[in-house]
Amino acid sequence: MDLETESTIRVDTAMSSDIAKSCNKLLDVQKQITAAEEQLKKLQEAESLLSEQTIPNLMQQAGISLLKLADGSSVEVKPFYSARIPSTKTEEAFDWLRQNGFGDLIKNNVTLTFGRNEDEAAKNVVADLRKKGHNVNQTEKVEPMTLKAFVKEQIQQGKNVPSDIFGVYVANKTKITTKE
């Protein structure tokens, strides 16, 4: 046998051309997705500006908070509340909640991990599990919707909530209801 023929690899050039075309098409689609995401971000920024600043300011200047149109549509400006605890401020936020009588907002989850056939051990209390060498994980959290409702309630009652540790964001938001 000829060594040259044994080491020759046959490549279907039509297939490699199809692969190259498909790769170029994929790159083109990825570029279109990136452009569409950038366009969406710009549209969301424009929506936010109109909804949270432009329209509320114009309606405030006009001295109205609700506008009903003859066709049944309405434009209303309402307060919008948002809050989240940044990961770097979790301990500080939990301390503040506990010190100010709101510790019940914090969910405290204890997770116990057992191997097979350890059903009886699962019935023991956490302290006993630690003595026996079982893995006990504990996590604390405040549900996002609970935090949002809490912040809204506190602000509406005129109470101070530390904006920096709770990531508080308050704005007016425009709601347009159309009659369809």
The secondary structure of 112-134 as a DSSP string is EE--TT-HHHHTS-HHHHHHTT-
Provide mean pLDDT across the span 73-94. 92
Whole-number Å distance between alpha carbons of 69 and 96? 46
Q: What is the DSSP letter of 78?
A: E
The pLDDT value given to residue 31: 97
120-126-116 Cα angle (round to 5): 35
Q: Which two tokens stand for residue 3?
A: 């060594």
Q: Which two tokens stand for residue 112?
A: 């116990």
- pLDDT tens string 93-104: 999 999 999 999
Whole-number Å distance between alpha carbons of 168 and 157? 15
- pLDDT tens string 119-133: 665 666 566 767 878
Residues 175, 68 contacting (CB under 8 angstroms): no
pTM: 0.58
Q: Which two tokens stand for residue 18?
A: 């199809």
Q: Which two tokens stand for residue 4?
A: 């040259």
